[in-house]
Amino acid sequence: MMPFQFTKHYESPAKATTAARHYAWLASHAKPLRQPALTVVGPTSLTFEYIDGRHARTQDLPRLAELLGDVHGAAWASDLHRARLDKLYEFRDLTLFKDFRSCREVALHNRLEQGFLPDTSALNAMLTLLERSTEGPAAFYKDCNLRNFLITEDGTIFSVDTDDLTLAPFGYDLAKLITTLIMTHGPIHPPDIEAALNSYNHAAARHDAQLGATSRERLGDFLSLHAVLTAPYAGRHGYRYGWLRQRQQIQGTS
């Protein structure tokens, strides 16, 4: 018999409260994004409606890219047009989103210490790329790895996991989805990445013309950042292809 609920447990009441607030914010400001119903909020747990669905696959990329563009555009129009990528943002309901840059600077320094960057020159190159990315209108980052989507038999797309939301530039979460698809299923043909980006931009621009301006070069910057930031997870959680394979894909080599 299939369960009708799923309970996620957290390390502390603060983490559970943050996840619940993020869930509520998405429900209010990112309305195109469907989430399982939140049925019980406990001191250190959240209980959700159980969704019988599969994780995203490479062939789902066009639909997911369009959905993300629509979601990010809707959130910008509803609330995020007030936000700046380099500043902590407090919403009217007191939900806090971390800025885009600071937490990723820490993570990049950690990747050097862990051996995923060869030297300080490589670290400085990534920090420069990160700084260059901290511009333009603000979207949000929800960690759109392929396992945070559930697609039901009738094709309905649900998004799960609201633990850690931050501000992010438009296109950054699309790059995370592409990165994790490559890590799990292998290379994606460049024309398919172009098509996904076009779908994303078109959907975002429906909310405001300036939101549909993510270039292929900028997406490549985001993919390069994700290649380093996700490097420690290669070989875990179904990620069969390592970060070197990703970089080869991004740079168009074999």
Task: Please report, in tens digits, the pLDDT of each residue of the chain (254 residues total).
Answer: 456 899 999 999 999 999 999 999 999 999 999 999 999 999 999 999 999 999 999 999 999 999 999 999 999 999 999 999 999 988 776 677 899 999 999 999 999 999 999 999 999 999 999 999 999 999 999 999 999 999 999 999 999 998 889 999 999 999 999 999 999 999 899 999 999 999 999 999 999 999 999 999 999 999 999 999 999 988 887 888 865 555 555 555 33
Place of tokens 């399982």: 36
- Decide: 164 and 102 in contact? Cβ < 8 Å: no
The whole-angstrom separation of Cα 189 and Cα 210 is 27
Nearest-CA neighbor of 193 among 133, 251, 138, 240?
A: 251
State residue 181's pLDDT score. 95
The whole-angstrom separation of Cα 94 and Cα 91 is 5
The whole-angstrom separation of Cα 207 and Cα 200 is 12
Q: Take residue 56 and report the two structure tokens written for it.
A: 């995203």
* CA angle (135 as vertex; 112, 60 as ends), nearest 5: 75
The residues spanned by each domain of the chain are: 52-251
In sequence order, the 6+-apart residues with CB closer than 8 A to the CB of 51 are 6, 36, 150, 152, 158, 160
Nearest-CA neighbor of 199 among 77, 60, 79?
A: 60
Place of tokens 């603000």: 138
Alpha-carbon torsion (146, 107, 212, 192), positive or negative: negative
Domain 52-251 has CATH 3.40.50.2300: no
State residue 253's pLDDT score. 39
Give the chain as a DSSP string: ---SEEEEE-SSHHHHHHHHHHHHHHHHH-TTS----EEEE-SSEEEEE----BPP-GGGHHHHHHHHHHHHHHHHHHTGGG--TTS-EE-TTS-EEB-SSHHHHHHHHHHHHHTSS-SHHHHHHHHHHHHHHS-SSEEEE----GGGEEE-TT--EEE---S--EEEETTHHHHHHHHHHHHHH----HHHHHHHHHHHHHHHHTT-GGGG---HHHHHHHHHHHHHHTGGGTTSTT--S-HHHHHHHHHT--
The whole-angstrom separation of Cα 61 and Cα 63 is 6
In sequence order, the 6+-apart residues with CB closer than 8 A to the CB of 184 are 146, 238, 239, 240, 241
Whether this prediction's pTM lies above 0.95 is answered by no
